[in-house]
Amino acid sequence: MSLARVVAVAPGSPAEAAGVRVGDEILTVEGRPVRDVIEYRVLTDGADPVLELRRGGLEVDLEVAKPEGVPLGVEVASALFDEVRTCDNHCEFCFIYQLPPGMRRSLSLKDDDYRLSFLYGNFTTLTRFTEADLERVVTEGLSPLYVSIHATDPDVRAAMLRNRRGATSLRWLRALLDAGVEVHGQVVVCPGVNDGPVLADTLCGILDGYPELAEVAVVPLGVSDHNPEPRMRPHSRAEAEAVLDTVHAAREVFRSVLGRPLVHAADEYYLLADRPFPPAEEYGDFAMHEDGIGMARAFELEFRGASTEAIGVQPGFFAWVDGAPAEGYRAPRGEPAAATGTCGLPPAGPGEGRAVRLRPRRGAAVGILTGPYGARVLGPLVEELGRDDVRVIEVPNRFFGGNIGVTGLMVGTDLAEVLAREPEGDRYLLPDVCLSRGVFLDGTSPGDLPRPVEVVPTDGISLRRALGDPATTVAAGAVTGQGAGR
């Protein structure tokens, strides 16, 4: 098992007073080895915890004087100290298999770890879930979790996951719900595989077997030009319309039986079908915003001033926890890291998502960089301003190709091609959601672009401020998510 390595010690913290140093490795807390930041948080929450550290090859015991509930003041290198539980499914639709050649190796890691589901909102299929995992989830209150359903028919689900355990692993979903765990579900729809009657059957199966689910997201398959599976293809407009019809019919059934609609279609379906998005109130508290559910309506509320706070990421219990890296799904906007990718793509890292103070450049035109889906939502909002000094710059995704059009998957090579045709001297706003630890998914960085860009957090409130006063905190761009999960 790897160890928790200290990467930062807060000035004036109990850890600094006790002598904890950057580079220390935490062997045990209170005599117990820790597997992940969840256990670390529980064990260090008490008064005066004793840390066993490894420092320069020597073992050191330190007692940290602090009251119960006061953070230790230590940031560790990762959320998991043991090995990530990797995915043993072989889904035809997995986006990891569709990455272009030559990308960094870390992007190819497929996880199916319930701890990352709790910490960052990653979706798990539960095919590697165990009784011990269930006991820990219930005992430690690891809620909410996020589960990939895809189909409730056992044979269809097993075939989609290419894993025979897929036929039976939803029994763990039932057990989680019986234990009172909050669970959000996802169905990635693959045309010709689990759409049509299969999707209708799945939604009926959810009502019959899992009505306690908090919400269910129905998202379209993302297909890159590097997809190796001949059955996997993008939705046609007619197929997108059919999915919406099925989802809307199910919503009315759920509403009449459960008193709530339960299931939501991703924003992309409405864009594909050229239909209006549902009213904002249909999305409740936008709990599945990061799965592409209600992103457009949330952005509109923010941009038009109907929301005084950014809706975006829904922070969970571990958003503030001492030792949990401020990255991924549960990181609040405006902190040193921002949104996650999907299906194993790593979260953003330190330096992204910060509020940026800019020197005003009066009279400079503004170009807002965004993906094709984002441009369709952002364009009309910018037009409402009636200004000729602001434009939306759509960046086609040639790196991934296929139907990949979300802002979060923009890469430097595509941005460079577009920016090279744009005038010098303008302000270019680049949303932080397309960066991970300061680099794009293709390994390039903002410094490689032919025009200076302002890397900014993503929400409509900040964008409106940016366009009104360049000296204030600014943000731009991503308004829809890609359903490319497991």
Chain segment 286-337, per-residue pLDDT in tens: 888 888 899 999 999 999 888 878 776 444 433 334 554 444 434 333 333 3
**Per-residue pLDDT at 247:** 98
Please give the pLDDT value at position 312.
61
Q: Is the per-residue pLDDT at 124 higher than 90? A: yes
Letter string b/e over residues 75-85, b meaning 16 or more CB atoms within 10 A of that residue's CB: bbeebbbeebb
Task: Specify whether the CB–CB gap between 392 and 404 falls below 8 A.
Answer: no
Banded pLDDT at 486 (limits 50, 70, 90): very low
Give the contacts of 330 (CB within 8 A, at least 6 positions apart): 119, 120, 121, 313, 314, 315, 316, 318, 319, 324
**393 bridge partner residues:** 369
CA-to-CA dists, residue 105 to 83, 159, 202, 217, 225, angstroms: 16, 27, 35, 29, 19
Name the range with the highest mean pLDDT among 28-37, 297-306, 329-338, 390-399.
Answer: 390-399
Whether residue 462 has pLDDT greater than 60: yes
Partner residues linked to 54 by β-bridges = 25, 59
For residues 450, 454, 459 and 460, what is the CA-based torsion angle, rounded to 10 degrees? -90
Would you say domain 4-76 falls under CATH 2.30.42.10? yes
Q: Of 1-15, 149-163, 270-284, which gets the smallest average pLDDT? A: 1-15
Is pLDDT of 38 > 90?
Answer: no
Is the distance from CB of 289 to CB of 298 less than 8 angstroms? yes
**Identity of the amino acid at 331:** A
pLDDT digits (tens, 9 = 90+) for 417-459: 999 999 999 999 998 888 877 889 898 999 999 999 998 778 8
State both tokens at 105.
């190796």
- Kindly report the average pLDDT of the chain as a whole number: 84
Token pair recorded at residue 155: 């044979």
Round to the nearest angstrom and report the end-to-end CA distance of the chain: 27
Q: What angle do CA 363, 364, 366 make, to 5 degrees?
A: 130
Global pTM value: 0.82
Mean pLDDT of 126-151: 94
The pLDDT of residue 241 is above 60: yes
Residues 6+ apart with CB under 8 A from 467: 366, 382, 385, 387, 390
Beta bridge partners of 26: 4, 53
Sign of CA dihedral 346, 122, 148, 235: negative
Task: Read off the tokens for 476.
Answer: 């731009």
| pLDDT greater at residue 314 or residue 339 | 314
Q: What is the dihedral of CA 259, 317, 127, 217, to 10 degrees?
A: 40
